[in-house]
Chain A
Amino acid sequence: MLLNRIIRFYVESVDEVVAFFRATKGSRTLRSLVALLSVVSVLPLIVIVYAGRACFRLFDLSDMLIAPSNELRPSIPPAFAQFLIIIVSPSKRASAILGDLQEEFDRDLSMGVERARLLYWARCLRSLGPLLVTKIKRAGIIAAVIELGRRILG
Chain B
Amino acid sequence: MAQIGQLEQHILLAILRLRPTAYGVVIQQELLKRTSREYSIGTIYAALDKLERKGLVVTTRGEATAERGGRAKLYFNLTASGQSALKASLDAIDQLRSGLRLREAWCC
By a beta-carbon cutoff of 8 Å, the part of chain A in contact with chain B is 64, 67-70, 89-90, 93, 95-104, 106, 123, 126-131, 133-134
Which of the 9-residue segments B14-22, B64-72, B79-87, B89-97 touches chain A? B64-72
Is there an interface contact between A104 and B40, defined as CB atoms closer than 8 Å? no
- Interface residues of chain A: helix, strand, loop or mixed (majority): helix
Total residues of chain B contacting the partner, CB 8 A: 21
Q: Tell me, in angstroms, the Cα distance from A93 to B23 when the chains sit together.
A: 12
CB distance from A92 to the nearest CB of B (A): 8
17 A-B pairs within 8 Å (CB atoms) are namely A67-B69, A90-B49, A95-B71, A95-B72, A96-B24, A96-B73, A97-B24, A99-B73, A100-B23, A100-B68, A103-B67, A104-B25, A123-B40, A130-B40, A134-B45, A134-B46, A134-B50
Question: Sorted from nearest, which 9 A-B pairs have the closest CB atoms?
Answer: A127-B42, A67-B69, A99-B71, A96-B74, A99-B68, A126-B40, A100-B24, A130-B46, A130-B42
Residues of B within 8 A of A64 (CB): 71
By a beta-carbon cutoff of 8 Å, the part of chain B in contact with chain A is 23-25, 28, 40-43, 45-46, 49-50, 66-74
Choose among A70, A90, A103 the residue that contacts B25 (Cβ–Cβ < 8 A): A103
Residues of A within 8 A of B50 (CB): 134
Q: Tell me, in angstroms, the Cα distance from A119 to B104 when the chains sit together.
A: 43
Is there an interface contact between B45 and A99, defined as CB atoms closer than 8 Å? no
Q: How many A-B residue pairs have CB under 8 A?
A: 77
Choose among B23, B49, B66, B71 the residue that contacts A98 (Cβ–Cβ < 8 A): B71
CB distance from B25 to the nearest CB of A (A): 5
Residues of B within 8 A of A101 (CB): 41
Q: Tell me, in angstroms, the Cα distance from A64 to B68 when the chains sit together.
A: 11
CB distance from A84 to the nearest CB of B (A): 11
Residues of A within 8 A of B72 (CB): 95-96, 99
Is there an interface contact between A123 and B41, defined as CB atoms closer than 8 Å? yes
Q: Tell me, in angstroms, the Cα distance from A96 to B44 when the chains sit together.
A: 12
Given contacts A96-B23, A100-B24, A123-B40, contact A131 B45 (CB under 8 A): yes
Residues of B within 8 A of A123 (CB): 40-41
